[in-house]
Structure 1
């Protein structure tokens, strides 16, 4: 099993002597008031830091705030399109039981009320209500500056300068000791590269802009990708779309040989090419006339506000170099990222990462030297390359999750 971290307890993460004279209180900016941002804000506040959370929308919740609206470019590639932050579709339910979705001292238990969802795998509205309950319980909203968009973050004279646009359009700035980036990674679509797509006459959409199956009624649809959103959306389209063709990269090629069609759903390897007469050619030789290509192909990490003079980059969807997916060695501990890993259990992960960041900033937890952190990152990248794992999956945890989370727990 490939693990992105050393599974042995790390001595550099052990707690320092708990002397009040050694502890520090920092002025810390948290960017984003989604699930990650509000959990991190609580951890920082508990540690004694002075926290400001910047949130461009009018409420907490981030991607869990459902909007029926979609962007002006359904594919999500036009830089001038109208932007919708949330990627939720109307029927979305969690694919994790609620027992795994809460923080340790504030579990996600069923609550009474006419508009509450007591199911073990609740819908997205119930998750948002849990986040609102959490924020109210711990006074997080008092720390949040709503309708305030961060437009620049940079290090100047040892302080982090943040420039932000207020609701009235005015631009202001403030300095902080540290910045924690919690903007999430489910709003900027990645799309598949398809030969001939510029001349193909059909519609294209990314799952970011999918809300319900009705617009696909009677159409022949190709769904690219068969992870969480691809699976959910394909199932919703059954009985609505005329045909559903699923194309995905999978080691389970035997499925392609034994299951050719189930309820008008056909399974294929990836698309080989598309043509101006509307045909789509799959790598298995199958040719289909298609109305819509729906990209369920994930998202890009994007930090247009962050200026680090090239120290932190996004290369083939790898944000780096980052020690344990959190700290850039050259800028630690003043800059950190929470919530990058995917195929993870989100809120417990945010809590552990946030506790680590808070402890490092207060001097309760020691980081290794910048040289040691960078060496650790390079060894991690080398292990990924040796395993054949592509760069764009650098932050995928998968079955390494338990090991990863244990590494954040101080001794």
Structure 2
């Protein structure tokens, strides 16, 4: 999007784009979405899988899509999981960018609680997710929090896989939690017996997401959620008067 502000045309080749969203991107006169590239030629012509052709001055290789607020342009992250240092005798594998089997994207049932993964889920709210997930792991390791049996954890994992398959979600997006990010993080908080994500923080997140879509060029400078900022300020003030705890960390 930033490049489109200075370039004559920007053409995005996306492996994840759905047929219905190919073509002109809403809100842009010079930004077009295509399927993957089939071939590139010396004269600068780029042929896409659907047969469309453009003449390109520059081809920019984007090797990783950050989990930004999702628009029809980028559906999911292309981050690649790779653990060459980890030998589990085949118990944990990475297949089509799916690390598994993992209970709640964290514990491999056969090796729990001695092996765990922090931060695999995509499209969560990073630091809050990592904190909640780490507290859960620490609670399990200390014996304060119990895990289901290995069989129960495997059933939970298999249910997730079936749900993703039924919804047509590619295996490489197994760890995408964009549709349930708040519920997922609040689940960890519940297991740990700590407060979940504050309502004002959830509201700010969704307001910012909406503002990004409405004002892609000016979302950092223009907003309409001052009332939510006031709620956050009031909550921080309350925290300071009671002593700093998790809810004071932004």
TM score, norm. by length of structure 1: 0.39
* Cα 1:252–1:361 shift into 2, 3 Å: same
Query: Aligned to 1:267, which of 15, 28, 32?
Result: 32
* Per-residue deviation, 1:287: 1.3
* Per-residue deviation, 1:347: 0.9
Alpha carbons 1:360, 1:367 under 8 Å: kept:
yes
Give 5+ residue unaligned stretches, structure 2. 65-77, 194-250
Q: Trace 1:3-402 onto structure 2 (pairs within 5 A).
A: 234-236=1-3, 238-239=5-6, 241-248=7-14, 249-251=16-18, 253=20, 256=23, 262=29, 265-277=30-42, 278-290=44-56, 291-297=58-64, 298-402=78-182
* Cα 1:254–1:311 shift into 2, 3 Å: closer
Per-residue deviation, residues 70-111 of structure 1 (Å, max 9, x unmatched): xxxxxxxxxxxxxxxxxxxxxxxxxxxxxxxxxxxxxxxxxx
CA–CA distance in 2 between the matches of 1:341 and 1:323? Answer: 12
* Per-residue deviation, 1:274: 1.3
Question: What is the RMSD of the two structures over their aligned residues, measured on CA atoms?
Answer: 2.4
Using CA pairs below 8 Å that are at least 6 residues apart, which structure has the higher relative contact order? Answer: 1
The structure where strand makes up a greater share of residues is 1
Secondary structure of the 2:82 match is coil
CA–CA distance in 1 between the matches of 2:35 and 2:18? Answer: 12
CA–CA distance in 1 between the matches of 2:46 and 2:133? Answer: 44
* Per-residue deviation, 1:385: 0.9
Alpha carbons 2:102, 2:108 under 8 Å: kept:
yes
* Per-residue deviation, 1:258: 7.7
Alpha carbons 2:22, 2:34 under 8 Å: kept:
no
Per-residue deviation, residues 209-257 of structure 1 (Å, max 9, x unmatched): xxxxxxxxxxxxxxxxxxxxxxxxx314532x45321233434836726
Secondary structure of the 1:245 match is strand
* Cα 1:296–1:238 shift into 2, 3 Å: farther
Alpha carbons 1:360, 1:366 under 8 Å: kept:
yes
* Per-residue deviation, 1:388: 0.9
CA–CA distance in 2 between the matches of 1:378 and 1:399? Answer: 19
Per-residue deviation, residues 180-208 of structure 1 (Å, max 9, x unmatched): xxxxxxxxxxxxxxxxxxxxxxxxxxxxx
Per-residue deviation, residues 11-69 of structure 1 (Å, max 9, x unmatched): xxxxxxxxxxxxxxxxxxxxxxxxxxxxxxxxxxxxxxxxxxxxxxxxxxxxxxxxxxx
* Per-residue deviation, 1:317: 0.4
Give 5+ residue unaligned stretches, structure 1. 1-233
CA–CA distance in 2 between the matches of 1:254 and 1:275? Answer: 23
